[in-house]
Chain A
Amino acid sequence: ETGVTQTPRHLVMGMTNKKSLKCEQHLGHNAMYWYKQSAKKPLELMFVYNFKEQTENNSVPSRFSPECPNSSHLFLHLHTLQPEDSALYLCASSQGRDVGYFGPGTRLTVL
């Protein structure tokens, strides 16, 4: 695999479920990001990780819990979500001038 991959590509979950989104980058980058794209809203940066350490959390509700076990993997753990959390979740990676690499996204629907 090359670039940035995300699994699953589609996810449907109930409000009481717990699920996780996975992102893997095969580019040797040190920074990884989660973005959220809701209908009729701009792409929002959620979390930033650099060398496995979280460097930014843009006031994201605690029902979203990120995890970065190493520089190649990033997870987004989801629990007790709301229907308004339905969105496309995009992962990205970068290092130095190697910026702007996005995965295909996970389309999440919360029932």
Chain B
Amino acid sequence: AQSVTQPDIHITVSEGASLELRCNYSYGATPYLFWYVQSPGQGLQLLLKYFSGDTLVQGIKGFEAEFKRSQSSFNLRKPSVHWSDAAEYFCAVGASSYSSASKIIFGSGTRLSIRP
């Protein structure tokens, strides 16, 4: 069965510092991997997604993520965080099929706080 683990519940980093949010997944084949961000009271915004090809994926707002099959990981990074990056971040895993639905399973999220 698909599953996603985000080991860090809450992370605090200083503004301007680099960021890495961890994500490990369990899936029987090559998964589709996603990172979403959610600000308080808002819906989900897709930051980036990986389907195949280059294992380093660029997303919006200066985020990137690297797929490492050997480690079953898809960690999210940003070289320099801004106060506006404070939010909840969700890693997710899904599958794709032309004949059936492609449900997405989410991790429990990592709350990011920014220290001025």
Contacts and interface: CB of A to CB of B under 8 A. Distances in A.
Contact of A31 (B36, B92, B101): B101
B34 interface: yes
Interface of A: 30-31, 33, 42-43, 45, 48-50, 55-56, 88, 90, 92, 94-97, 99-105, 107
Interface residues of B, number: 26
B94 A99 contact: yes
A102 B43 contact: yes
Contact of A43 (B42, B46, B90): B90
The listed residue with most B CB atoms (<10 A of its CB), out of A42, A90, A97, A99, is: A99
A100 B105 contact: no
Interface of B: 32, 34, 36, 41-44, 46, 49, 51, 90, 92, 94, 96-98, 100-109
Binding site of A, secondary structure by majority: helix, strand, loop or mixed?
strand
Contacts of A103: 43
Contacts, number: 65
Contacts of A88: 43
B108 A45 contact: no
Given A42-B107, A42-B108, A43-B90, A99 B102 contact: yes
A88 B106 CA distance: 15
Contact of B103 (A45, A101, A107): A45
A90 B36 CA distance: 13
A101 B44 CA distance: 9
Given A90-B44, A102-B43, A105-B43, A97 B51 contact: yes
